[in-house]
Amino acid sequence: MGPDTAVRKPSIWEILTSEKYFKWTLLIPLFALLLVFMLYPLFYCLYYSFCQWGMQGKAIFVGLHNYRELLNDTAFMEALARTFEVLAICIVAELLIGLGLALLWNREFRGQNVVRGLALLPLLVAPLVLSLLWNFMLEYDFGAVNQILTAIGLGKVYWWSPNLALYTICFITIWQWFPFSVFVLIAGLRSLPRDVFEAARVDGASNWYTFRRLTLPMLSPLIMIIVVLRAMWLIRLFDPLYGTTRGGVRTELLDWRVYRTAFVYFDIGYGSSMAIFSLFLTIAVCAVMYRELMKALGVIR
């Protein structure tokens, strides 16, 4: 065969733009971003979690020392327990409020757009700004809430007392995030098939029976989505602490502990081990919930 008839090797550009590979080519920027901004920092963090390093000199490899220390760190374990307490309180409250309001607002009523629009407001405010506002409003002596309570003859409440502060943090979080549940559930309610409910009504089913046997099961996939997403976000709860107690009065949560260790003490090694622990915890919690979600959707049994 002469040289002019030889099979030419395709260039990289030709490969990338070929019909076979073009779908993968489109993903390259995304993979590049993931690599730079997610995978690289993640592996870097994982590496440092096995080291002792305070940002000076070289990192010293210490194996599992940080993780062993973590398991014996009572303050860390307390922060973990508090995080789960906040998680349970917030998810239950947000779901109950969300479901209640979704059922209420699913009906046609005058001013429905205004009400729904206003309900969105807490979600639109930056979490840190919202927590700073609540911090001022709940202040013992001159906070608006206590002023109102005093004006109507009730006594002042010390919202940031060591016994109440954690629940006040929960309240701020619920206040900000309940609209999320409301709107997801309203969307769910709107998409439910009407004929099933009409059939139930014809059969004489009560409202409560219909809600329990029809509405709730059909909404369960959405409820699970809310639970999974909120669990992920709540394990990383940080802003309300920054704007209010700064981890004081018994409100230190998991992410605040990680922040303090890594970026206040600059104990990067130990802080990384906390962050990795927190990551795996989130994955574990969400994996269990995701499985339940899939079951609810009937994808798996």
- Whose CA is closest to 211, among 224, 236, 192, 227? 192
Residue 173's identity, in one-letter code, is T
In the three-class reduction of DSSP (H, G, I as helix; E, B as strand; rest coil), residue 238 is classed as coil
Q: Which is nearer to other proteins, 158 or 233 (CB)?
A: 158
Residue 71, C-beta contacts closer than 8 angstroms, at least 6 positions apart: 77
Min CB(41)–other proteins separation in Å: 14
Q: Is 181 in the site for other proteins (CB under 8 A)?
A: no
Please list every residue from 9 through 68 that binds other proteins, using CB under 8 A.
Answer: 54-56
108 part of the interface to other proteins, by CB under 8 A:
no
Q: Binding of other proteins at residue 4 (CB under 8 A)?
A: no
**Stretch of 26-34, 259-267, 273-281, 283-291 lying at the interface with other proteins (CB under 8 A):** 259-267
Query: CA–CA separation, 105 vs 133, rounded Å?
Result: 27
Contact between 117 and other proteins per CB under 8 A: no
Asked if 148 touches other proteins (CB under 8 A), the answer is no
Q: Does 248 bind other proteins (CB under 8 A)?
A: yes
Q: Is 139 in the site for other proteins (CB under 8 A)?
A: yes
- Residue of 165, 169, 185, 224 interacting with other proteins (CB under 8 A): 165
Closer residue to other proteins, CB minimum distance, 230 or 260: 260
Q: What angle do CA 193, 195, 196 make, to 5 degrees?
A: 75
Interaction between residue 153 and other proteins (CB under 8 A): no
Minimum distance from residue 229 beta carbon to other proteins (Å): 28
Which spans in the chain are helix H? Answer: 12-17, 22-25, 28-34, 40-48, 65-71, 74-105, 112-124, 127-137, 144-151, 165-190, 194-202, 207-210, 216-235, 239-243, 254-259, 268-297
Binding residues vs other proteins (CB under 8 A): 54-56, 135, 139-142, 158, 160-162, 165, 244-250, 252, 260, 263-267
